[in-house]
Structures are given as structure tokens and as C-alpha cells.
Amino acid sequence: MNRVYNNILRLSVLTMFTMTGCKKILDEKPRAIFTPDYFKTQAGVVGGITSCYGHMRYMYGNGYFLNSNEISTDEATWGQNSDGNVKNLDFSGVGTIDPASSNTGILWGAAFPNINTASGVIENGAAVGVSDALIAEARFFRAFDYFLLVQTFGGVPLDLGAGELKFNTSTVRTSKRNTVPEVYTKAVFPDLLTAIDKLPTSGRVVGGVTQTVARLFLAKAYLTYGWWLQNPNGIPTYPDAQRTDPAGHNAAWYFQAAYDIATAAIQTPGPFGLQPTFYDVSLATNDRNNETLLYADHTQSSSIYNGGDLSYSGGGFSTDSFAAWFEQWNYTNIKSSTSATAWAAVSSVQRAAVQSLGRPWTMLAPPQAIFKNTFADKTNDSRYDGTFVTRYRTNFVEAAVKVNGATPAFLYNANFLPVAENDPVLSFLNSDVGGVDYSNAKFNSTVGAGVLPGRADYVIEPSAFSRICYPGTWKLGPYRTDNNGGLGSPNGSLTRPFPVAKFSELFFIAAEAAVKGAATKAVSGTYANDGTARGLINVIRARAGKWRFDNGNNVTKIEDNSAAMIAATPGTIDINYILAERAREYFGEGYRWFDLVRTQKWTELSSSFQIAGATNPNDWKDHTVSTVSRTITPAYYLRPIPQSQLDGMDMSAADKKAYQNPGY
């Protein structure tokens, strides 16, 4: 058994929990050690189940896990402050993917210990009196991890040292990878089918897994496996395996099964459903809403239970939540003036623990096509406004900025016009307008923003969005209730739940399966539609047309553009359109690499992009737009096995080489 597997029984204090039947939340009780004998007790088994929930924190909310699933896609490239950990995955000539240092092993290191924990629960649960429903939660998480692994690495081991899918306590240091069909048909599908049968309709606890979330992942696994069997672009797999199904089904069978399961979940959603507006899905005060089927949870009440330091991240928690920082640029460089006649610079937007701000890392920058093409409709479609921070507002009063010993009523910005607290100081425009003066000869924003006559806010046109200055991602931003009228703790680990799965994805899964040839039928119930790809997508698009708040303008906006959204939907839906809709719905959340690899569209959609500032990523005034090319070979459709895995195995050099995916 390799080094990673030797640590399977070691769970940190952050992920060892127990549960009580009388509570509706997970009751966390840290333990220093989790031994095999502990699994032979009821407390040990239910503690293992709860640790399955905790293990998601090692991935979801981790900025480098987010990076590995966003960068090199059409959603993201490296930003101004990126280091090799980020750049190496961009394939644009700024680095080379490295099995030792590219952070593609985060999943590997989190998944296998949890898989073994889940296997311990499954093997011991019945003997200690744990219900089938509780054991089904462990089955869900074992399938969940194997599904992530097989999409990322290809075939992976089912035998961790004690036999396939057996709870392992041995110290053997060898490993054998199973094939992709074996992982799906022996692990992913059976566990999820059992989970669907045994899980409740409503969660046992808040955030607990249910029949609906199991249906979503089974439908998505069937859809993904159907693509793998079909292999339209001849992408290689590893270990080598025939593109045949052990059960004798073909790709069409799996597309149909994906459609049937997804539409069944839509028709019988239980307590789940779509939020009334897209804005509501990600609004921090509405976290844990009924559209979010699964999330990695956090809290602001305790650093230990949060899994990350509450005041300044970097306290040693491997479950720290900091993904949102990757998609936020350094807005704190924006300067205004304390004088209306001469430029006397002061920072007018300072770090704050609010959803539109937070800690800026400038690690991931969206290419310009995101703003010009993906989110082209910014009038009817609310998803642009509900995804990005398009206006940065002053917080100098909250920050207690002093001028001559007193807090001023105004600062002075573009055109020496006054800006009060919470006024826009920088606006990212929806489209290029021309006539913007970027010279900053008099009004020095220090971020390369321009000036338009009569406007107090600086402006930047989409063609000037760069690796340095771009709309941040609003929907993942921080939220605290303990700011106490000040800036709060913007450098602390994020305390919001990080979304893992949403009810809305069922519509996309069914629509994609329909495009792949699944026979369609009318969908009844709350989300009734004709069941075609267009009908399913239009449920999502109709919701996207409904507004109740305008983030950019910070005002209530009651508007229903559903009819216009539906009318604009193409008569014939294809895979590229579904992928574009998925980008509008899930931008920046870590879906994109999986989506493009599943559909084998990664190379087609991500091999080139345009962005400003590419020639000098430290020059704020550089608005030169460059076209950047990526070299994405078929081998890169699988990530490398982590070097730590190879180093920990007691195997020959030749066997280790054969264990690694080709191309690395």
C-alpha cells in the first residue's frame, strides 16, 4: 500500500464528527484519532458517515482545486499574481504541468482516504445497528469520489489493499489501477443505485444527502460514461480498455438512462427546486437554499469547525476555504483624491468581508469572450449581473479614512467629481462605448481605468479587461454577520457553504442527453415542459430572465424578461449551446474542465482566447489585446497521477512508469 493509503485511517480533527438523532445539523466532536476498532462501534460508524461530509472541504473551497478545474478552459486564464501552481495548468506557454507541484493531486489525496472510510461504514454499519439509510449516505460519497477520480485520472484502484471495495487496514505498498469501465460499473453505478433506493426524500440533517442528489450524480455519471463509450474525437484512455460496456449496453442506452433519471428527479423534486431568480441562488443571506443539493459547509462561529482561521487565513488548516479569492482582482489599488482641485491619492475601496469584495489574489482572469460572447445579453439575462461585481463602491467611511483628522463626507474621483460612501468609484462597462480617456494624466485611478465626461466613476470597457483588472466573481464572495459596522475580517477563511451540486443541473443533464439522442417525453409537475432539449433549457432561461435586484446598480429591480429569453433560444439546441448555457449558469464554480472533457470540446473551445495586458502583466495601463494560443494535446484530457502517490509505492521504476498516465 502506498503512502497515501497508509494515511487512510488518519482523519484530522476538522473532519471527525458524530451525529445525534435529535438534531437537524451535524454535531461536530473533534477526535484526534480514528482507528479500525472504532468502526466496530455505532459511534465510530456514524462518525465515519459524518466525516464523509467533512472531506468535501479539502476540495470544494480550496482555491487550487478550483484552479485545476477552471484554468485552461474558456472561462479562465492566469491572472497578474499567478505563480507556477496556477500557470502550469494553463497550457499557454507559461509553464508545464507537473505531477509534483501542479495541485492536480488535491482530489487524489482527499478522495481515497474517504473512500476507505466509506467502505468501513458500509461493511460495519449493519452489524452495529446503523440503518440502511445512513449506510446509503456512505455509499453515495464513495460513488461521489470515484466519479470525480475516474473523470480526472481515468481508471483508478478499486482495491486499496484488502480487495476491491473492501475496507483496508493493511500496510501493503503496491497498487493496481482498474479500467474506466470497471470503476463505473463496479463502484459508481451500484453505489448510486443503492443510494437512490435507500436515501430519504428529505435530508436527515440540514445539508444531508438525499435521493435527489443521488439521482443527479447517477444521471451525470451515466451521461459521462455514454460520452466515454462513444468517444467522438478519439481521446485515449488509461489504463488501456476497449470502449465496451461489461453489461453490454451501448452509449445510447446510457444517454437514455441519464435522461430518464434526470427527468424523474425534476418531476418529483421533493423539497428541492429552482430559486425564483438567479440572484437568489448565490445571495449569501440565502445560503443553504433548496436549489443547493450538496455543499461543503463552513461556519463563522469557530475556527475549528469552520476548517479555517476566521481572522487571517494561513493558520494551517488544510480545509481552508479561499477559492473566491482566486477570482477577485486587487481592487484596493483604486485611488481617489481627498481634494477637489489637486490629486491627493487615497484608497477609496478597501478590503471588506462583504460578498462583492473580500481578499484579492488575482489568480484567475476571465478571457474577454466571457464578457463579449458568453454573457452577451446583459439586459434580459440576469446571470451576468448575478455572477460578477461590475461596480466597485467606496467604503472610506466604513474604513475610517481620515482627512485632517476627520472622516470626510466626500472623496473626489474622475473629473474631480465627488463620491460619497457606497457610490460607484469604478464601473466595468457592459460594452465598448468609445471616447474613454485611459491616459490618467490628471485623474490617476492607478488601475488603468478611464474617464468619461460627466461621470464621477472611472470606467473600463470590455476590450480593456485584462489579467490585472476585470470584474470579480460576486457569487462566491464572503459573508459575515460579525463585521460590527466595519470592514470585518476580509482575510479570514470564507465561512459560507461552498456549492457542490444544484437542482438546476438536472435540466442540463437531461437536455444534453436529449441532444445525444435520448428519446424525449413531456415533463410534468412544477417544471412542466415538452421534455426536449430546448424545452428543458428554456426552464432555466426563463428563470434567468427574472430580476428582483440589480447588483450593479445596487437597487431593487422587478422585471420579468422570461418571454424574451425563451424567444431568443435557438430552435435547435446543440452541445455547444448547452455548454454556453452551463457557463452562464455555473461560471467560476469549478464545473468547466469536467464539462469540456466530458464532451471532448476542451480543445475546440479553449485553444485560443483574447485578453488585454498580456504583454506586460504588471502594467496597469497596458490595454493591448493579444490573442493567446494553448497547446492542448489528447493526453492532457487525463490529469497526472500525483508524484507523492508514485513515491510512496514499493514498486519498480518500470511499474511506477506504467502506473502514471501517458504524457507525464
Residue ranges of E strands in 42-195 = 77-78
| pLDDT at 140 (0 to 100) | 98
Spatial contact of 501 and 294, defined as CB atoms under 8 Å apart: yes
Per residue in 502-522, pLDDT tens?
Answer: 999 999 999 999 999 999 999
Domain residues for 48?
A: 3-209+639-659
| pLDDT at 315 (0 to 100) | 57
| pLDDT at 3 (0 to 100) | 37
- Inside any domain, residue 556: no
- Inside any domain, residue 521: no
- Inside any domain, residue 198: yes
Sign of CA dihedral 539, 497, 580, 550: positive
- Inside any domain, residue 655: yes
Which three cell numbers, joined as nine digits, stand for 186?
A: 463496479
**pTM passes above 0.85:** yes
| pLDDT at 19 (0 to 100) | 28
CATH number at residue 156: 1.25.40.390
pLDDT above 80 for 32: no
Q: Checking DSSP bridges between strand 292-296 and strand 418-419, what pairing results, if any?
A: unpaired
- Inside any domain, residue 23: yes
| pLDDT at 314 (0 to 100) | 66
**Which residue in 126, 173, 164 sits closest to 142, CA to CA?**
164
Query: How far is the first Cα of the chain from the last one, in angstroms, to the nearest whole number?
Result: 22
At 29, the pLDDT band (50, 70, 90 cuts) reads low
Phi-psi region of 422 (alpha: psi -120 to 50; beta: other; left: phi over 0): left
Q: Dmax of the chain from CA atoms?
A: 80
- Inside any domain, residue 301: no
Per residue in 98-148, pLDDT tens?
Answer: 999 888 999 999 999 999 999 999 999 999 999 999 999 999 999 999 999
| pLDDT at 66 (0 to 100) | 97
CA 33 to chain centre: 31
Summary mean pLDDT of the chain: 93
Q: What is the number of structural domains in the chain?
A: 1
Q: CA–CA separation, 260 vs 276, rounded Å?
A: 25
- Inside any domain, residue 168: yes
- Inside any domain, residue 34: yes
Q: CA–CA separation, 557 vs 547, rounded Å?
A: 6
